[in-house]
Structure 1
């Protein structure tokens, strides 16, 4: 897979102009009509740059991460360094839109270098991109215009700090808008939780639990074709519980059913549920149920 270490080499590959700054490029188009992708098609590629783009695709397929980009209403897309991109020769998008690309070293020595890693949307698959309302779109456009003005100006000792500040503001607004998007996704969250539990059931019933142990959240997210971070954010926002907590609740529910059989010891139940150490299972059970598994078994065997 081809990898681009510099911003200039990446833009050269795309057929775009060389950047005004060696580590930063800003493209902001306000025209009408349609625009083909600068490079007709591309096999999977990666680079060392962050990208923040707003585009409305008219047709074509852009593969980003696990899935195809198929939105027609436009979305704000965040791409982190070393994420995989691929597109075909049918990609066409509206001329209006922007793209800000900056090398990860552009942030070195700044607070944003640490803060940007906390924004979950940089780890999302493209089908989890941020959709903007017209009002939100205008707010983002104003920030991008400020960045573009500073980018086009003669660079001085204040330029980088001002641009970093504007990027920080843009990301904070994006974070706010993601919160809004999550609040409007009750049905999606419900479906995700249903699929989450369905995958766990299939995993248990196939015997993989005894063979491979408790599945990781990453494994489950991969099976669901979403990113681990997105799955966790959606479920946490809608249910108040993380994916790990949902996994633990599922295991505890299974354990409660198994403990109804008095012939099974607590250790046997723990091992059958994929726990390597029965002591950890007992602590988790008591934490969730307020009673030890042995006491739970004794209590219900007496009823």
Structure 2
């Protein structure tokens, strides 16, 4: 799976240019009308992670591929996408209308209690899809129009006002019962397996003694993918014939062997990098998998 789409990638694909101040704008925010983004031939949307948040309102026939799910919507839907979960959007209607906004987490760092990633629609297993009736569509559309009006204004505190509008949209959505119609795909297990493999591979190689694995268990990966661990385990097993833990173990053992052979780091440093609390735990793990202690393998 490809690397996450960056804001630079987004602007190049949609508009053939990147805003001059994008690199300096760590709290970047922008808002668009959907119809303004189809003025030229663009590459088909790719099922991948992005390194920014996106809220979108689409009207018509749409399929949202999100984590291991495909959500089919006829009408208007408000969707919340986050950097931890891969997604793509298929717009099936000829008439393309709606809105979306994109932003980095830093845009909200000091303005939302806790973290934006803790909001219910971004929590592991949370429902990102909110189907709107005509009245709700009008209300959310008005919020987007207010953001569009402010984004180009000279108002000194416009970002504070825009944050308030986005927060209003979040709370308006939370008052609506999330609804989703799952559109079954034969490749759902393959999709979640591919995402799991991408998350696993992204942790390697270990390039410095200070680097440490963040995800070492099936539950760690399930939380990142916003799915139940049993669902992840079943999908991985059905697709590959091996368990989730087996894949993780093989990758850790492979990296351990590379570090033992190609670095001069001591056993404690390698143990730390691979996420073990104590060198003795790493020794026992490696001996069980490789039939040699780490020290013996290094000398072998």
Normalising by the residue count of structure 2, what TM-score does the alignment of the two structures yield? Answer: 0.50
Contact kept? 1:28, 1:99, Cα under 8 Å = yes
Aligned length: 188
**Which runs of 5 or more structure 1 residues have no equivalent in the other structure?**
189-215, 226-303
Does 2:103 align with 1:102? Answer: yes
**SS of match in other structure, 1:177:** coil
Aligned to 1:219: 229
Structure 1 residue 37, shift from structure 2 partner: 9.6
Structure 1 residue 53, shift from structure 2 partner: 0.2
The alpha-carbon distance between structure 1 residues 166 and 35, as it changes in their structure 2 partners (threshold 3 A), is: same
Aligned to 1:153: 153
Aligned to 1:122: 122
Does 2:76 align with 1:71? Answer: no
1:45-194 equivalent positions in 2, closer than 5 A: 45-58=48-61, 62-86=64-88, 91-92=92-93, 94-111=95-112, 114-123=114-123, 129-154=129-154, 156-178=155-177, 181=178
Contact kept? 2:105, 2:116, Cα under 8 Å = no
The alpha-carbon distance between structure 1 residues 176 and 38, as it changes in their structure 2 partners (threshold 3 A), is: farther
Contact kept? 1:41, 1:86, Cα under 8 Å = no
CA distance in 2, matches of 1:218, 1:141: 33
CA distance in 2, matches of 1:141, 1:69: 21
Structure 1 residue 106, shift from structure 2 partner: 1.8
Structure 1 residue 221, shift from structure 2 partner: 4.9
Structure 1 residue 12, shift from structure 2 partner: 1.8
CA distance in 1, matches of 2:54, 2:139: 18
CA distance in 1, matches of 2:64, 2:16: 18
Higher CA-based Rg: 1
Aligned to 1:211: none
The alpha-carbon distance between structure 1 residues 164 and 122, as it changes in their structure 2 partners (threshold 3 A), is: same
Aligned to 1:295: none
Counterpart pick for 2:44 among 35, 41, 44: 41
**SS of match in other structure, 2:47:** strand
CA distance in 2, matches of 1:83, 1:119: 14
Contact kept? 1:79, 1:123, Cα under 8 Å = no
Structure 1 residue 87, shift from structure 2 partner: 5.8
Contact kept? 1:66, 1:125, Cα under 8 Å = no
Aligned to 1:24: 29
Structure 1 residue 75, shift from structure 2 partner: 0.9
Contact kept? 1:14, 1:39, Cα under 8 Å = yes
**Which runs of 5 or more structure 2 residues have no equivalent in the other structure?**
23-27, 182-222, 236-300
